Chain A
Amino acid sequence: MKSKNHPLLGIHSLLMMIFIYIPIIIIIVYSFNSSRLAADWSGFTFDWYLSLFENSYVMEALTNTLIVAVVSTVVSTLLGTMSALAMRKTTKKIKAGMGGLLYLPIIIPDIIMGLSLLMLFSQFHIPLGRLTIIIAHITFSISYVHVVVSTRLTGMKDGLEEAAQDLGAGAWQTFRFVTMPQILPGIISGAIIAFTMSLDDFMVSFFVSGPNSTTLPIYIYGQVKRGISPEINALCTILIIVSVTLILLAQFILNKGKGQKKQSVLPF
């Protein structure tokens, strides 16, 4: 069934991987550099890793970032998928209007989004903190999920769902066993983008954050004036290693369960 990949394609993909990973290797290497400003290579050290764990501000920022990213990804994935599904069956007018509306959060300059949300929150006396950051992140993430899931839906064959319903499947069953498996790659890709956007957002978070809700990007941008500490490189290195390990582990566990079911369609 699978069409073979041309060797040239393989070489291209390998080169792309190198392109994507070169800066990451540099980040890892410089996390062991003893120079504070990362200007020169001035000797090998583990100090940044040690001081990182004593730096409660970085740890708190990391915690805030992860909480915000996880919560906003889950909620926006739900909402974005819902809207993409609903948009298929609605009238042309609503489609055009909502379509435009859903592009807005992607287009609007970050500073506008941050400042205008801050004005909104302060008008309604909503205390600034993790919650307001989560709300803001959900707002822009919905769009990314919606757009990617819609891409998947465009290519989906309508016949399958009808067939399932003709065979007596209920609405939920049709969704759960026909639609959902079909669009899952879209949902996951959308969630990946949402998660990545949330982890990296500085401008919007900056304005809607309050005391005690500094996220990692806010912390890192704040450090720029004095020079970003190699502690951050150390942190990035740890994050990469943890992510890769977790994924390896999960892959290993899932592979074990293989055999009974030919393909696990759903993760839960």
Chain B
Amino acid sequence: MKWAGLLLAVMMVVGLLSGCGGSSKETLNIYSWADNFDMDVIKDFEKQYNVKVKYDVFANNEDLLAKIKAGGNGYDLIQPSDYMVEMMIKQDLLAPLDMNNIPNFENIADVYKNPTFDPGNKYSIVYMSGVTGIAYNKKYVKDEIDSWEDLWNPAYKGKVILLDDNREVIGMALKKAGHSNSSKDEGEITAAVNDLKTLLPSVLAFDTDNIKQKMIQEEGWIATVWSGDASFIAKDNPDIGFVIPKEGSTIFADNYAIPKNANHKELAEKFINFMLEPEVSAKNYESIGYSDPNTKSAPFHSAEYNADKMINLTDEEMSRTEWLSDIGSQVSLYDRFWTELKSGRE
């Protein structure tokens, strides 16, 4: 029976090891994805403004919404994605931004200003953006890839990976058929889903988070991938190509926004403004590796970053993109179809 004592001892020691400290400085409570900033940049901000930054994390937009809606509070700055900004505005969960505190907003590229999900940037500013495209491994995929149709090629059976997200996947099938990625038309949606059902036997996995590892390791040959992730993959596996299909695609962004009940709204705005300084911006995006929406930061970026075609998409490619918009009550239809697709049942 000795192990009783052992175990208790372990638990006790482990408990004692943990101490805690407090500080009286003004605190900015950020609620975002983990590792979403370059940590040095945050330290610079703390020093420059003599404040403390606390950083808590969520794993996806829906978790964030459910938590804020059910009464989770105390956060000063959150980073919802595009469609979630729209949703949160509709639910009256966000505070309007005071642009007087964010003069650097003018540094943002025009493509990212005045987005459909938040006309006039009343509540949000784009932080990190990308476009969904097709990543493929040239070792196995010899044909030229330029269309969503190529995913259906029987040669890639069992080697196709799709994003694990109903709006992305159904939106892709809608685009393929020439519709809006946020169609509310039941006929269009049904046709798109039926089309996807013919793709199912080819699908190796649905995955959003670990699609990078799967492509690097060549588990999949061809996949729907976000542009920033494609750049990641290509760095570890030089055989990877990336294309924005000719039918057009979905553009997405994570944004800065401030919850309605934030305690340190002005500090949050100062933080946004700080992050939009060209030099800070360059340092930050260099580290996190996604597209920098800042027009003045290019001179501060490395040559490698500026040459990366997956991070710096052309105007022509950008012109073929569309934001996802809220689909209102059709969300039930999307969800049902998605359940059918994933479970293989009807």
Interface of A toward B, CB cutoff 8 Å: 35, 37-40, 55, 57, 62-64, 66-67, 69-71, 73-74, 115, 118-119, 121-123, 127-128, 181, 184-185, 187-188, 191-192, 195, 206-207, 209-214, 218-227, 229, 243, 246-247, 250-251, 254-255, 263-268
Contacts and interface: CB of A to CB of B under 8 A. Distances in A.
A39 B54 contact: no
A188 B3 contact: yes
Given A212-B56, A223-B34, A247-B10, A254 B71 contact: no
Name the residue in A62, A222, A268 with the highest tally of chain B Cβ atoms < 10 Å from its Cβ: A222
A251 B1 contact: no
Contact of B63 (A37, A63, A123, A206): A206
Nearest to A62: B18
20 contacts: A37-B232, A37-B236, A40-B217, A57-B55, A70-B15, A73-B11, A118-B67, A122-B72, A191-B7, A206-B63, A209-B56, A211-B29, A211-B75, A220-B34, A224-B210, A225-B208, A246-B13, A247-B6, A250-B5, A266-B4
Given A37-B232, A211-B56, A221-B59, A250 B20 contact: no
Given A39-B216, A128-B74, A207-B72, A225 B33 contact: yes
B70 A195 contact: no
B4 A184 contact: yes
A39 B215 CA distance: 9
Contacts of B71: 118-119, 121-123
A37 B18 contact: no
Nearest to B55: A57
Contacts of B75: 211
Given A206-B67, A209-B56, A251 B6 contact: yes
Contacts of A219: 34, 57
A220 B18 CA distance: 19
Contacts of A265: 1
Interface in B65-122: 66-67, 70-75
B33 A222 contact: yes
Interface in B227-256: 232, 236
B223 to A, nearest CB: 14
B213 A39 contact: yes
B29 A267 contact: no
A211 B17 contact: no
Given A128-B72, A263-B1, A223 B35 contact: yes
B315 interface: no
A70 B13 CA distance: 10
Given A39-B212, A66-B14, A206 B58 contact: yes
A223 B57 contact: yes
Contact of A66 (B7, B17, B73): B17
Contacts of A127: 74
A67 B11 CA distance: 10
Given A70-B14, A128-B74, A264 B5 contact: yes
A119 B70 contact: yes
A184 B33 CA distance: 43
A225 B218 CA distance: 19
Nearest 6 interchain pairs by C-beta: A122-B71, A222-B57, A267-B5, A222-B34, A70-B15, A223-B34
B2 interface: yes
B31 interface: yes
Nearest to B228: A226
B36 interface: yes
Nearest to B13: A246
Given A211-B54, A214-B56, A243 B67 contact: no
A210 B29 CA distance: 10
A8 B119 CA distance: 71
Contacts of B288: 226
Given A70-B14, A211-B54, A226-B36, A188 B4 contact: yes
Given A221-B59, A254-B2, A195 B67 contact: no
A229 B72 contact: no
Interface in B43-59: 54-59
Contact of B10 (A55, A210, A220, A243): A243
Given A184-B4, A267-B2, 8 more contacts: A55-B39, A64-B18, A70-B15, A207-B67, A211-B74, A225-B209, A226-B33, A264-B1
Contact of A250 (B6, B14, B58): B6
B31 A211 contact: yes
A198 B6 CA distance: 19
A224 B67 CA distance: 19
B9 interface: yes
Contact of B72 (A184, A210, A247): A210
B26 to A, nearest CB: 13
A243 B36 CA distance: 31
